[in-house]
Amino acid sequence: MAKVGRMKLGSQGLEVSQQGLGCMGMSAFYGPPKPEPDMISLIHHAVQSGVTFLDTSDVYGPHTNEILLGKALKGGIREKVELATKFGATYSEGKFVVRGDPAYVRAACEGSLKRLDIDCIDLYYQHRIDTSVPVEVTIGELKKLVEEGKIKYIGLSEASASTIRRAHAVHPITAVQLEWSLWSRDVEEDIIPTCRELGIGIVAYSPLGRGFLSSGSKLIENLPEGDYRKNMPRFQPENLEANKTIFERVNEMAAKKGCTPSQLALAWVHHQGNDVCPIPGTTKVENFNQNIAALSVKLTPQEMTELESFAATDAVKGDRYPENITTWKKANTPPLSSWKPGIQIDRHILHHSLEAQHHTTAMAKVGRMKLGSQGLEVSQQGLGCMGMSAFYGPPKPEPDMISLIHYAAQSGVTFLDTSDVYGPHTNEILLGKALKGGVREKVELATKFGISMSDGFKVEIRGDPSYVRAACEGSLKRLDIDCIDLYYQHRIDTRVPIEVTIGELKKLVEEGKIKYIGLSEASASTIRRAHAVHPITAVQLEWSLWSRDVEEEIVPTCRELGIGIVAYSPLGRGFLSSGTKLIENLSENDFRKYMPRFQPENLEKNKTIFERVNEMAAKKGCTPSQLALAWVHHQGNDVCPIPGTTKIDNLNQNIGALSVKLTPQEMTELESFAAADAVKGDRYASDITTWKNSDTPPLSSWKDRLDIDCIDLYYQHRIDTRVPIEITIGELKKLVEEGKIKYIGLSEVSASTIRRAHAVHPISAVQLEWSLWSRDAEEEVIPTCRELGIGIVAYNPLGRGFLSSGTKLLENLSEGDLRQLGSQGLEVSQQGLGCMGMSAVYGPPKPEPDMVALIQHAVQSGVTFLDTADVYGPHTNEILIGKDDFRKQAHHHHNTAMAKVGRMKLGSQGLEVSQQGLGCMGMSAYYGPPKPEPDMVALIHHAVQSGVTFLDTSDVYGPHTNEILIGKALSGGVREKVELATKFGIRISDDGKYENRGDPSYVRAACEGSLKRLDIDCIDLYYQHRIDTRVPIEITTGELKKLVEEGKIKYIGLSEASASTIRRAHAVHPISAVQLEWSLWSRDVEEEVIPTCRELGIGIVAYSPLGCGFFSSGSKLLDNLSQDDFRKALPKFQPENLESNKTIFERVNEMASKKGCTPSQLALAWLHHQGNDVCPIPGTTKLENLNNNIGAVSVKLTPQEMTELESFAAAGVVKGGRYAGDLITWRNSDTPPLSSWNKPNKLSASLFEH
């Protein structure tokens, strides 16, 4: 006997026993009813044993099982149990009928309460779904029964995923009962995930396969007459012969486990999760006791997998039920809008209608999605409204279109798309009318500007600021709203720099007239430039099975920048819905008639595409439009298609596409139908603007100098003594009010002038020359500033350079160097950068690329306050500052762009390293071809200058070339500034095979080789890279200890070592650090290895902290890997695992966006928060990635955020191992005992033959 625990069933508060008792067989279906006293005794025994969750139904008997339970609950038992019963399956004139209409629901409940002799049912299930009644109607009546106190919780049985969702939207569903056992697992695809997503408990009935998993084919031999199992497909002779093998294998495994087959099968169900409660039925006390014992049977993941293999889908023969029995596979109900109370629906007609619906997936739940990374949430599918008013024939009747829009919103399609050019204007006016009566608050509204139609329908593209503003005001008025949710530039004006257009849109955001900015038909470069001015939320583009040119550049750019993708014309302008029939029925003024793809010479070939899509749709049991839409939905959860329609039937069909599931193979097959060379004709006529001709002129052509909308701090450089200061400041005040400058400053000004200016408008800062040898400002000016709360900006703090190099400065001055003129300054960042000398006054202008690079470095280093003036050049210094994206970088500096890298003790032996290291492997090996040496040396130098001084290499990287590279980088005084770690122990033989070596002679030779390649005298930290499992670890560590004593290495480390190996090594000589793979999705080291290190005072070095780059860019990483990048072969990156794993990155990316950092910074920050004994060593070959990684040091995470992050990559979520099976890791790193070592002759000769 095992202890029966308690569990929460669902998220609504119901608590039940960990295992229930199915009571059906006591009274019905499994032969004649059993003696009542025996059954009551069994129920009492169950309750005393802790099984308090009892399951019955009004159809069991019928009614007699509930009456039996009623009797068993007397004498105080009722208060000890959780009672579930069911309604909905009844007999009428000898026929099995399913009912869910309100009157029946209420009558059934009253009958059950009476038979059970209780006041309230704990859990009341709809036993089978009435497909003639909308589930909302049935649940609505159950909700009333809850409110009346007649039932506590509502459940469903044998319900489809979509029915569960619809029911749950009316009233929370507590539990779903379904058949789930080793040989009935079809519910795992859709229903279980739906329940888990919604927090619904799972009750597994028939967990022993109707008793088959208890006794196999013997069960059938002993069934009495009247046992309905005799008629079940799986128990028929033609299937039983094959199925008995399943039981035999379960029975065999059970014998090895020391349990019964029924216990093993039940244990499998218990191991599905703590939200699952199986309810095995029995009529015998001994069987009941045996079932309880299943709770103490423990199964490993390997055993679970093995068990599942016994009853794989193709191994189980026969369906669960005969064809005439209702199950979840045909449990969809009609839409709520079809329900007319009091009118009897023809069940026969509706049955056929629903069967058709089932096969065409006509309705599905429309979920919600984040569109882009700026916070906009929309429906998973949108509604394109253009065709209601324009371009696709004459305008449709307004009342019909308003009804359609309302129906869409009620159905969950809340993302509505229009434009000022549709009509023109009439579509927006239509939407404005449709949004009345509280509809506005329920939808996300997108409109567009940028296409203007002048006289004679001449089209003009406009993006100039005055037009943008006027267009927005016009749309707001026509839509009769205060704010547009998403405002797109419909087409790009190629005469206006995109920065100018977006700059005006940014102002509209700040004024509250629009919430989010979008672009339509924009090129990748235009998107990037726009995004640098203000974050772009979404890009609208034509993307469908036959329009895929955007996949090469635009889609990747959007994903890189966190921009949502809105796919218009996802049905190929309707062609993928009806093929050539579409063209035959177009009205005269339908502009599709003139599109290239629909011309006779192209249509003849294109019709084949539709025919093949249609054929595949028929096989999938859906419509061709659903198949084509499903393909778009499968492109990623950042894509929202917006199919247009003017008919409710088509809208329902489009929504149904959400439930069409496609395998990778089906996706590939679909794409092959419409390969680039198969599609004939362009998308548009040649005179129409698309993303292919959407690049705009440079910003420098529009404005000069700074190219910004607002100056942060605007000084009067020198005081005009002819103009009262009040006049000058008054004008500056107006510029503040107009948003052209934020703060006012003065330079080289007297105390009295400061006071007079400050009285007109607060002065933020005064700039003055203040240094060790220029202190005259201290007498009056500084005290006045401090009295008035004015900041002080000290220019020339180094005495024009004299305090840096004295008279040497003068020896090196170039012709025309006038040091007594000019200014430098600081503010915002603790120190600023004076830019004057780059362009003027201090000799000739410096090379522009060098100066741009210098400013970039300054900003990345945290110096974000840049000082210039219009007189420097004149003007050329402002133009220089305006050249690059410094404005954006400066604004985002505090968003973890660059952080200070601290120092840390690595282990307890005295080694101090930088808080974050640099893994150098990818510079030379494994991650594609070696990178250019000069670039890598420069990167290492930048790392060291930035405070990342802990460098990691190995003799196997190359092999050898990475150490040689590091050796070169360490020359010129760099060696003294770094902590250098390298590794030994992996040898690549001449035939390319890997061998692990840890014998003394190899250790010594490897160390000498590394010292020579690195060109150093001593290695700071020397790791055993992989453990040689033929050599006792004491031998290897003993040789390393000698190298320490000889001064050739300072500290000893291990990599990929087990806890026991670490302990044994540490007993020979203290281990300073253990290197191991530790990241959000590689956490197996936390169980034993990490605690061992901490117990022994050993530092932890986390390699691959970004999951081999996965946490930087997700599945995009794989798209860009070179052929010889070894990550291509890693299990986690294989297609069968990647599809699941990419969800982890998406969730990390989403959280990072909320935190205002990059996903790689978030993943790295998680490691930094593991403790001050952990040093991650992310590798990179790019300067910007290094800076990004350093930024992780300043990302702060709460315990709740840590937990949330960990949940994204929980053990069951991550698919695939870290390495292929043949690689040595800590899991197979134990070495033989020291006593087995008998010097070299104990080893096979092969160890030394090299």
Distance from chain centroid for Cα 274: 25
| Long-range pairs of 605-608 with CB within 8 A, sequence gap ≥ 24 | 605/678, 605/680, 606/546, 606/575, 606/679, 606/680, 606/681, 607/579, 607/580, 608/678
d(CA 204, CA 754): 81
Three-state DSSP class for 512?
Answer: coil
As a whole number of angstroms, the distance between CA 999 and CA 982 comes to 18
Strands 986-988 and 979-984: unpaired
H helical segments located in 370-459: 398-410, 426-434
In the chain, what's the furthest Cα-to-Cα distance?
A: 116
Where on the phi/psi map is residue 873: left (φ > 0), alpha (ψ -120 to 50), or beta?
left
Report the alpha-carbon distance of residue 799 to residue 938 in Å, rounded. 32
| Cβ contacts of 1081-1087, under 8 Å, gap ≥ 24 | 1081/1107, 1081/1110, 1081/1111, 1081/1132, 1081/1141, 1081/1144, 1081/1209, 1081/1214, 1082/1107, 1082/1218, 1083/1206, 1083/1209, 1083/1211, 1084/1227, 1085/1226
> What separation in angstroms does the CA of 1148 have from each of 479, 1112, 1142, 1165, 1208?
37, 10, 10, 12, 7
The residue from 125, 422, 516, 795 that is catalytic is 422
Please name the helix (run of DSSP H) or strand (run of DSSP E) that holds residue 192, with its range, or none: helix 191-198
Across 798-825, b (16+ Cβ under 10 Å) vs e yields ebbbbeeeeeebeeeeeeebebeebbbb
Q: Which of 1040, 948, 1041, 945 is nearest to 985 (CA)?
A: 1040
CA distances from 838 to 422, 835, 982, 1154 (A): 52, 6, 42, 38
**Among the listed residues 395, 476, 481, the one whose alpha carbon sits nearest the alpha carbon of residue 436:** 481
Task: Tokens for 1179, please give them.
Answer: 């590798």
Three-point CA angle 919, 921, 926, nearest 5°: 140
Sheet holding 20-22, edge to edge: 20-22, 53-55, 82-87, 121-126, 151-157, 175-179, 201-205, 276-278
In 3D space, the residue among 569, 565, 559, 572 whose CA is nearest the CA of residue 640 turns out to be 565
Instruction: Write the DSSP string, 754-799.
Output: HHHHHHHS---EEEEE-BTTB-GGGTTHHHHHHHHT-EEEEE-TTG
Q: Which of 736, 738, 740 is nearest to 761 (CA)?
A: 736
> First vs last Cα of the chain: how many Å apart?
61
Residue type for 517, please? I
DSSP class per residue in 226-281: TBGGGGSGGGSHHHHHHHHHHHHHHHHHHHHHTS-HHHHHHHHHHTT-TTEEE--B
Q: Are 1147 and 1099 in contact (CB under 8 A)?
A: no
Is 422 part of the annotated catalytic residue set? yes
User: Smallest Cα–Cα separation from 535: which of 860, 856, 884, 888?
Assistant: 888
Backbone φ and ψ of 389, nearest 5°: -125, -20
Structure tokens at 613: 């899509």
The answer to whether the CB of 517 falls within 8 A of the CB of 686 is: no
Residues taking part in catalysis: 422
